[in-house]
Amino acid sequence: MSNTRGLEGVVATTSSVSSIIDDVLTYQGYQIDDLANYSSFEEVVYLLWNSKLPNKAELEEFSTNLIKNMTVPNEIFDYMKLYPIADVHPMAALRTAISQLGLYDHEANEVDADTAKRIALRLQAKIATIVTGFARIRNGKEPVEPKEGLSFAANFLYMLNGEEPKDTEIDAINKALVLHADHELNASTFTARVCVATLSDFYSGITSAIGALKGPLHGGANERVMAMLSEIGEVSNVDEYIQKMFDKKEKIMGFGHRVYKSGDPRAKHLRDMSYKLTNITGETKWYDISVAVEEKVTKEKGLPPNVDFYSASVYHSLGIDHDLFTPIFAVSRVSGWNAHILEQYADNRLIRPRAEYVGPNTQKYIPLNDRD
Ligand code: ACO
């Protein structure tokens, strides 16, 4: 059997959207640290789709267009009200709603470059409205319409909570969106590319990607990190709790990475935000427990935290329901999925690898009536 289980180390395509070289992450050649410190999410989305940072006029036009496209057809929310809501995870709701959204886009089946870019914009804009709309509907509230004049990050929080957010909250969500926007050929992005390489439509590609992101080995880890922190409860319990996980050979959510070996460059930004936000809320224990877990896992297993680890205490500090953590990841990552789908359409070839056959050798067929 070859040593390519999980396609580790396999280069499956070329891409100019983002790169991870020697543990440094760049979007279109721009370092993630600069983008996280100085960019709005809208700038990053523009960068990923246009291979250049926008000037002021371009950003203004792009941002206005994005917010204008946030409204979703009422049918999406009407249908959500029919979901068996108590049992529906928001990622499953999102997967269904994005697929349904395609039914209301009269250009959904077009794959030419201009139309594909318009669809990308609509998806980016509407995904925030869908995630927040579902979060409200399941609590018996009506969805909130997006507000022109607010940024994408501010609109997300506004549509979620029904009131205009504070600057610190907007900054935190904006930075989290920037940090999660793209990540080379991660599992969900690869899924999107495989799907649309059959020349299937944009909505199919994004629906497939949401399905892949949902899993706990990928985007679903952030929700599980918070479940772990809650179970630990106090800093004094960290050592015993994590040791038990080691002994049972259980994976510690939010640690390890297929590509990064010396650490995920996004984690430190989220760690800083976690410190800041937990000090604002006064619930510093979530940061303290996280740091104690990091110290033990790094020291004893040599595994550094990934993007999902500190994002958990960040979102918790913003008062966000824990099962919305992964949908927020999707709200950001759809920008990267869109960029990769545009890139795939622009120079498409069917993605069809081979499997090394390890089944039985040629067998003699025995008719049904003659089998034991
Ligand atoms: N906790 C404990 N041990 C771990 C962890 C972890 N989080 N991650 C890796 N290891 C160990 C494995 O048990 C394995 O040990 P072994 O060789 O003794 O059997 C070794 O490190 C290699 O692990 P793999 O699972 O083979 O590494 P892989 O590259 O396939 O997986 C992954 C990477 C999925 C991220 C893994 O580290 C993991 O499961 N982490 C926890 C889930 C998580 O945080 N996912 C989010 C990743 S970031 C993102 O997708 C946004």
Taking the CA of residue 264 as reference, the ligand 1 atom at the shortest distance is 48
| Percent of the chain whose predicted confidence (pLDDT) is above 70 | 99
* Best of 4, 218, 255 for a ligand 1 pocket test (most atoms within 8 Å of beta carbon): 255
Strands 30-31 and 24-27: antiparallel
Q: Which two tokens stand for residue 240?
A: 């015993």
Residues 42 and 189 in one domain: yes
The DSSP 8-state label assigned to residue 27 in this structure reads E
Q: Is pLDDT above 70 for 2?
A: no
Separate counts of helices (H) and strands (E) for the chain: 16, 3
Residues 20 and 152 in one domain: yes
CA dist 325 and 160 (Å) reads: 13
Residue 301 belongs to what domain range? 221-317
Q: Is residue 182 part of a domain?
A: yes
Residues 190 and 287 in one domain: no
* Best of 7, 241, 251, 298 for a ligand 1 pocket test (most atoms within 8 Å of beta carbon): 251
Q: Is residue 8 part of a domain?
A: no
**pLDDT for res 3:** 62
The CA–CA distances, whole Å, from 365 to 100, 220, 369 equal 45, 44, 12
Residues 253 and 158 in one domain: no
Write down the catalytic residue from 264, 308, 316, 340: 308
Q: Is residue 64 part of a domain?
A: yes
Residues 273 and 142 in one domain: no
318 pLDDT tier (thresholds 50, 70, 90): very high
Q: Is residue 357 part of a domain?
A: no
Residues 266 and 117 in one domain: no
Q: Which residues line ligand 1 (CB under 6 A)?
A: 6, 186, 217-219, 221, 251-258, 301, 303, 306-308
Residues 280 and 200 in one domain: no
Q: Is residue 56 part of a domain?
A: yes
Q: Which two tokens stand for residue 24?
A: 């440094």
CA dist 284 and 128 (Å) reads: 29
Question: Which CATH number characterizes residue 20's domain?
Answer: 1.10.580.10
Helix H or strand E encompassing 169: helix 167-180
257 in catalytic set: yes
Pick from 109-113, 205-209, 281-285: least confident: 109-113
Q: Is residue 206 part of a domain?
A: yes
Q: Is pLDDT above 60 for 42?
A: yes
Residues 68 and 114 in one domain: yes
Identify which of 210, 214, 220 has the alpha carbon closest to the alpha carbon of residue 101: 210
255 CA to centre of ligand 1 in angstroms: 7
Residues 116 and 246 in one domain: no
Q: How many Cα atoms are found within 13 Å in the side-chain-facing hemisphere of 352?
A: 4
CA dist 271 and 321 (Å) reads: 19
Q: Average pLDDT of the chain? A: 97
CA dist 29 and 16 (Å) reads: 8
Helix H or strand E encompassing 19: strand 18-21
Residues 107 and 246 in one domain: no
List b or e across 278-304, with b for residues whose CB sees 16 or more CB atoms inside 10 angstroms.
beeeeebebbbbbbbbbebbeeeeebb
Question: Which CATH number characterizes residue 252's domain?
Answer: 1.10.230.10
Overall pTM surpassing 0.90 (yes/no): yes
Q: Is residue 354 part of a domain?
A: no
51 CA to centre of ligand 1 in angstroms: 32
Q: Is residue 353 part of a domain?
A: no
Mean pLDDT computed over 286-302? 98
Residues 137 and 94 in one domain: yes
- Report how far Cα 104 is from the mean position of its chain's Cα atoms: 24
- For the stretch 171-196, pLDDT in tens is 999 999 999 999 999 999 999 999 99
Q: Which long-range contacts (CB under 8 A, 24 or more apart) does 244-252 make?
A: 246/300, 246/301, 252/228, 252/293, 252/297, 252/301, 252/303
Q: How many structural domains does the chain have?
A: 2
C-alpha torsion sign, points 126, 131, 132, 135: positive
The CA–CA distances, whole Å, from 20 to 27, 43, 44, 166, 261 equal 9, 20, 17, 34, 11
- For the stretch 47-95, pLDDT in tens is 999 999 999 999 999 999 999 999 999 999 999 999 999 999 999 999 9
15 CA to centre of ligand 1 in angstroms: 25
256 CA to centre of ligand 1 in angstroms: 5
Mean pLDDT computed over 227-231? 98
Residues 125 and 208 in one domain: yes
**pLDDT for res 118:** 97
Write down the catalytic residue from 257, 269, 316, 340: 257
323 in catalytic set: no
